[in-house]
Amino acid sequence: SDLQKQVERGELLQPAIFIVLVLCSVLLYFKVSLMDPGFVKSEEEVKAGKSEEQSMVIPQVSSNIKMRRCGYCMVKQPMRAKHCQLCQRCVRRYDHHCPWIENCVGEKNHPLFIVYLSVQLVVLLWGGHIAWSGLYFKQSWDWLQHNIFLLMSFLLIVVFTIVVLLLLISHLYLISSNTTTWEFMSYHRISYLRHSELENPFDQGIILNLWRFFC
């Protein structure tokens, strides 16, 4: 492959950058999967901690809608929070439970999840280019025996690239409209959306939505 040729010539800059990107991708994966996605604290924890984060003002969509108590973990749910059956906790600004990271994507780790997907996409695209550069197709059994691993790696990278690309695009679209995956999929079952006069009461325009999400 091109990367191997560069290493043999002593040109180590691009191989080093590629390795750093792979390491960053792995570190981001563990960070997103292990961090608190924004679990809703119990009233006792809030009183004990008095943290500023837990005393954030809840967005007012309708004066008729009040904080309800979760029927599973019995905590008071802020607006846009949802109980995750797999994590057995309520998550603030719940987006979805990701089986790939074995964790919820919520208020705290959603921006980092987008960064992880972006870095992962760059690694996959570069890895696909490296694998393709090492393939010189010949119609012979001997060629297939010597290149089967590289060919399978390339096909696998293509599949994962498509999945990550579609996932990243869908998330960026939802973020630009200030909507979570859960709200998008279950719009008619969510009281604060169903009873709202606006189709999306949280949408404040693409620029402001992106600014508030990432900054």
Catalytic residues: 98
Q: How far apart are CA 157 and CA 60, in angstroms?
A: 45
Residue 92 contacts residue 79 (beta carbons within 8 Å) = no
Residue 93 contacts residue 110 (beta carbons within 8 Å) = yes
Backbone phi, then psi, for 2, in 5-degree steps? -60, -40
Q: Show contacts of 60-63: CB within 8 Å, 24+ apart.
A: 61/192, 61/196, 61/198, 61/201, 61/202, 62/192, 62/195, 62/196, 62/197
Burial 132-163 (b: 16+ CB within 10 A, else e): eebeeeeeeeeeeeebeebeebbeebeebbee
